[in-house]
Amino acid sequence: MDTLNILYLVSAVLIFVSIMTSQLSARLGVPLLLFFLGVGVLAGEEGILGIEFEQYALANFIGQAALACILLDGGLRTSLNSFRVGLKPAVTLATWGVIATVLTLGIFIAYLLGVDWRLGLLIAAIVGSTDAAAVFSLLRNGGVKLNDRVQATLELESGANDPLAILLVTVMIALNLDPESQTIWTILSLLATQIGVGLVMGMMSGFVLSKLLPKVHLADGMYAILIMSAGMAVFGATNLLGGSGFLAVYLAGVAIGNTKVRATEHVLRVMDSFAWLSQAVLFVVLGLLVTPSSLLQVWHYSLIVFLFLLFVARPFAVMTSLLPFGFNWREIGFISWVGLRGAVPITLAIIPIMMAVPQATLAFNIAFGLVILSLLAQGATIPFMSRAFGVWVPTDSEPKAEHEIWVGDHANITLYEFEVGKGAFAVGRHPINISSRFNAKDVNLFAVVRNEHLLAVNDDTALRAGDVVWYAMSGDNASSVAKIFNNSATQYQKTSEFYGDWLLSPHIKIADLPFFGGRQSFVKTDHSGTSKNTKKTPFDFFEVFTPPKSTLSGMDDELIEIFNKHKNETIEEYMLNHFHAEPVNGDKVRLNEHWSLIVRDVDHQGRLRGVGLKNTAKKE
């Protein structure tokens, strides 16, 4: 009994310490997943607690279950809009991209280590796919907003590339143990079964569950347990049928998450906790498996393999996968950089050890070292690299949080939380009369919180920096209200500088641009209102403006050619003809040396709703 209680105590303390390190992780800018690994290593055989843990089968069981939970949660939070902009490139990356990475890296590893090509390809297959746990965690909690095309491609790739990675590891294990047993037809048949059964099971189970949820009435906390158990059942059943359980559970999550019913609101909040617990347990257990002395013996190999993967193999795979889909070089460069490796490579590296593959321990230690390097070098630099590659977009139009209150099975009220930023336009304004632009019926005040206490609102109430305000809203007003709460005059100017100084309707014609004599076809931002007590909102900072031609760069040959060829086209038609991929916020079309059109807003059908006109001669 004492042994069992000690196990309970040690397990709980390890998870508790791992999660508490999240505060330190945020301050140091180091990925939290790395702290989970670190706790496991420190508690391990050569660490502070000296726990001897060599249960590879148990670690594999925990790893598979945790990854299924993480993928289910990732699917629940994946909007179908992501499929519109990222499905085709993500599928290409998850198939050809993985194969190209494994082939390129495998040949290099065999040469570097002086081992048989089959072992080199096995190690490459282990680390050849990006990791869902790392991608979902670091991209969604990394403090930076990427453009939708890049974000969707990275997330969908990480959710879809596990089947091929597992298949390649399985095939390479067989080639290392019994080369005669594998033929090209065997491999292709296995791949078709993995993907085909995974797709069918995922879509069928997701459809059934999405139809079942509205008909089931449970206590709020039970919905997440229901979905969790259903997801694990889908995972296990798909694996038994020879398909990819990871692909199936991810697709089932997508189907459920995009079904807006009473149950899904409760599921998302509880599943977030399940996913974090899964990550903590998974990385702590994986950390217990490794011995630092073994890692140090091959650390130079891990470093060289990581550098080759980062600067050669991954860029080659991404470039050949994404160029046909119209991705620009900055997007390709960033996606190449953020090929995050995490729990999946370590979990896959356990399998050769369990199968007694020669030199499997070498493969495990190299994979483990590479994961640490990936989390340090790639995971910690996501915010910096997103700006270096120009794939970030401003986040001033997002509420702090939102919460749906369901008043019926198919009727809900959405509450949005906004925090008054320092120097924001909301400072000094009454929370009800936040802007005359909004209809009082569409934006209803729910509560004001000041110093963590509910504030009684009267006629003299004026908002202060740090106040938290809740509104019940209808329509698409949340992003507009967010700008009032998030933006100071300085921040608003920075956002405007990203998209350009002038705002255009996508429906005006090219001939109506100011270069060609258009009048009142656009508006210019006015950044003069910097006073803390100003009554202006971001919407009051726009005025109809027609600049004299003397302020422009002149009618050069490029502008004249655009006018002659495209004067009867709308801005939207002109821009869409220049895009080779689905448009997203931040996409740019160059007019001439000095001026560019920048997508400012896109609806769910990919239609432009706002366009910026930017003087690109200015400092970015």
pLDDT tens column, 10-22: 777 777 776 676 6
Cβ atoms of residues 192 and 167 within 8 Å: no
Bridge partners, 2 (sequence order):
none
Cα→Cα distances 261→73, 105, 159, 359, Å: 17, 46, 24, 51
Cα dihedral 471, 474, 478, 481 sign: negative
Band of pLDDT at residue 139, cut at 50, 70 and 90: confident
Bridge partners, 614 (sequence order):
596
Q: What is the CATH number of the domain that holds 478?
A: 3.30.70.1450
CA distance 617 to 265: 47
Statement to judge: residues 483 and 512 lie in one domain: no
CA distance 108 to 118: 12
pLDDT of 332 reads: 94
Cβ atoms of residues 426 and 449 within 8 Å: no
**Is residue 383 a part of any domain in this protein?**
yes
Structure tokens at 286: 């994986």
pTM: 0.79
Statement to judge: residues 55 and 182 lie in one domain: yes
Statement to judge: residues 292 and 366 lie in one domain: yes
Statement to judge: residues 475 and 594 lie in one domain: no
Q: What is the largest CA-CA distance in the chain?
A: 87
pLDDT in tens, 500-556: 777 788 888 888 776 665 544 444 444 433 334 444 555 444 433 344 343 344 456
pLDDT in tens, 160-219: 887 788 888 888 888 888 777 667 787 788 878 888 999 999 999 999 988 888 777 777
Name the residue with tokens 């694996």. Answer: 239
The mean of the pLDDT values for the chain is: 81
- Residues 6 or more apart whose CB falls under 8 angstroms from that of 459 comprise 430
Statement to judge: residues 334 and 430 lie in one domain: no
Cα→Cα distances 178→76, 129, 172, 355, Å: 40, 24, 10, 12
Sheet of strand 588-590: strand arrangement: 542-544, 522-525, 502-504, 608-615, 595-602, 588-590
Q: Domain range spanning residue 364? A: 1-391
Specify the 3-state DSSP secondary structure of 109.
Answer: helix
Q: 605: how many CB neighbours lie within 10 A of its CB?
A: 7
Statement to judge: residues 276 and 386 lie in one domain: yes
Statement to judge: residues 482 and 504 lie in one domain: no
CA distance 371 to 375: 6
Statement to judge: residues 1 and 128 lie in one domain: yes
Statement to judge: residues 567 and 419 lie in one domain: no
pLDDT in tens, 87-96: 899 999 988 9
Statement to judge: residues 285 and 415 lie in one domain: no
Specify the 3-state DSSP secondary structure of 615.
Answer: strand
Total domains, the chain? 3
pLDDT in tens, 273-328: 787 788 788 888 888 888 888 888 999 999 999 999 999 999 999 999 999 998 98
Helix, strand, coil fractions of the chain, as percent rounded to 5: 60, 10, 30
Structure tokens at 451: 């110093």
Statement to judge: residues 277 and 409 lie in one domain: no
Residue 276 is given by DSSP the state H
Statement to judge: residues 45 and 182 lie in one domain: yes
CA angle 77/145/449 to nearest 5° reads 80
Smallest CA-to-CA distance from 510 within 577, 579, 562, 587 is with: 562
Is residue 575 pLDDT above 80, yes or no? yes
Angle between helices 245-257 and 56-76 (to 10 degrees): 30
Bridge partners, 436 (sequence order):
none
Q: 516: how many CB neighbours lie within 10 A of its CB?
A: 16
**Is residue 525 a part of any domain in this protein?**
no
**Is residue 369 a part of any domain in this protein?**
yes
